[in-house]
Amino acid sequence: MTADVNAAGHLTIGGCDVVSLAEMYGTPLYLYDEHTIREMCRAFVDGFASEYPDSHISYSSKAFATPALALILEDEHVGMDVVTGGELAVARAAEFPAADLNFHGNNKGLAELDEALDYGVGLITVDSMFEINLLDEAARMKGKTQQVLLRVSPSIDGHTHLLTSTGVLDQKFGFPIETGQAEEAVKHALSKANLDVAGIHFHLGSPLFELEPYTQAIPYVLEFVAQMREHGFNQRIFSPGGGFAIGYVSETPPPEVSDYAGAISASVQEACDRFGLDEPRLILEPGRAIVGRAGVALYSVGGIKDIPGVRKYVSVDGGMGDNIRPVLYGAGYSAVKANGLTEPVAGAVTIAGKYCESGDLLVKDAQLPSLDTGDLLAIAASGAYCLSMASNYNMSLRPAVVLVNDGEARLIRRRETYDDLLAQSIL
C-alpha cells in the first residue's frame, strides 16, 4: 500500500492526508488505495499467466463491490464473480462485459437467473439439482443455451475458520463427490438441452494460509473429472476457487501470489497429465487478496474508559455495523493513530465500537500512543468483507467510501442519511 507519514506526523494514503479526508468527509470513513488494487490485479493476472498461460482471474465481488471498482477491474483485464442480483446490478451499472461475469451462489432465484440470461452472463455456476432444472427451463424459455460450471465439494478441510470453510462434506455448498451426488449432478446437467456443461468448480474456504489444501483437492477433483468422461463430460474450464489470504496482523503472513500460482498451476498440470486430461482453462477467484490491503477504515475517538488493573477502552464512532469480522470470526486487526503516527507508544488499549453489544470490539490490546477524544484511528487491511457485510444495526448510517490515488481523492460511495434509512418505511 502507498501508506506514508507526512511532515505533520499524519498518515497519508495514495498521497492524501487522511486527517484532511476525515475532516472533509467525516468518520467513519473507508479509504481505498487505487494503486494497491491495480497492483494486486496485476500480481494475480501476471503471476498465474507465467505459470499457466490459459488462466483467467475473476474477482469475487462479495468482498467489496462498487461500480467504480468494477471499472478498475475491467481496465486490468480481471473478470467478476457475482452471487446475487444486487452484485450483478453493480456490474451492469458499470457496463461490465457480460462475457467476463460468473454468477455464483447456492440458491439463485428465477428472477436473478432471468437477469443473468438477459445480460448475457458468460458463466453460471450451479449448486443444486433444483438450480440445474430451474436454469435449464429459464434458458429454454429465452431460446438460449447457457454455459455452466458445476460446483462440487471435495470434502477437504481448508484449515480456516469453521464459518468460512466451504469444502468439507457437511456444508451447504456444492455436490459432494464422495457420496455420488456430484456424479448424479454431472449426468443430470448433461441431459439438459439448454445447458452447456463447461467444467467444474470448487472452493475450499477463506482465508487459506496454507497451500496444501489446494494441492490435495485439485488432483482429487480432477480424478473425478476424468471418471466423468464415461458419461460424455468434456471439461473445458476448471476453477479451484479463491480463498487467497492477506496479512491482517504481522504474526500471520500469507503466502505470496507466486506461491499460490506455482502450487495450483503445478497441481493442475500434474493431475491432467496423470489422468489423461487436456489442460482446461483455469479460473481463479481472488476477492480479499485484491481489495483487502487496499482498504483502510478511519474512526474518530470518542469516550475513553480506563478500568484500573483490567482494561482501557477507547470508543470510536464505528464498529460492528461497518466491520463485523471481529465479532463474527474473531478476526484480528492492527491500528495506528493516524494524526500522530510518529508518537511513542503509551500502552495497550482496546478499541471498542459504538454498538449495543459487549462483543463490539474492533482491536484488543492495541499498542498505541496516548489518545484523546477527537483523535483519529486507522485500521489497516479493512478493504474486504467489512463494508460488504455492513448493516444498519442500531439504525446507524453506513460510511462513505473514498478512492485515493496520486494525491487525488474521489468519493465513490456517499454516506447514508436518515432519509435513506426511512425511505422504505411506511406509516
**Cα 128 from Cα 369, distance rounded (Å):** 53
Q: What is the dihedral of CA 202, 208, 211, 214, to 10 degrees?
A: -10
* Amino acid letter for position 26: G
* Residue 389, all three cell numbers: 457485510
Q: Would residue 265 be called left, alpha or beta, if left means φ above 0 and alpha means ψ between -120 and 50 degrees?
A: alpha
Known catalytic residues are 356
> DSSP labels for 319-331?
STTT--HHHHH--
**Which SS3 state, helix, strand or coil, does residue 291 take?**
helix
Strands (E), 110-208: 123-126, 146-153, 175-176, 195-201
Which among 364, 352, 350 is positioned nearest to 312, based on CA atoms?
A: 350
Q: How many C-beta neighbours within 10 Å does residue 334 have?
A: 16
Q: Which residue has the cell 497492483?
A: 39
Which among 22, 8, 5 is positioned nearest to 400, based on CA atoms?
A: 22
SS3 content of the chain, % helix, strand, coil (to 5): 35, 25, 40
Q: Which residue has the cell 468527509?
A: 25
DSSP state of 277: P
Pairing mode, strands 376-379 and 311-316: unpaired
Pairing mode, strands 361-368 and 347-352: antiparallel
Beta bridge partners of 181: none
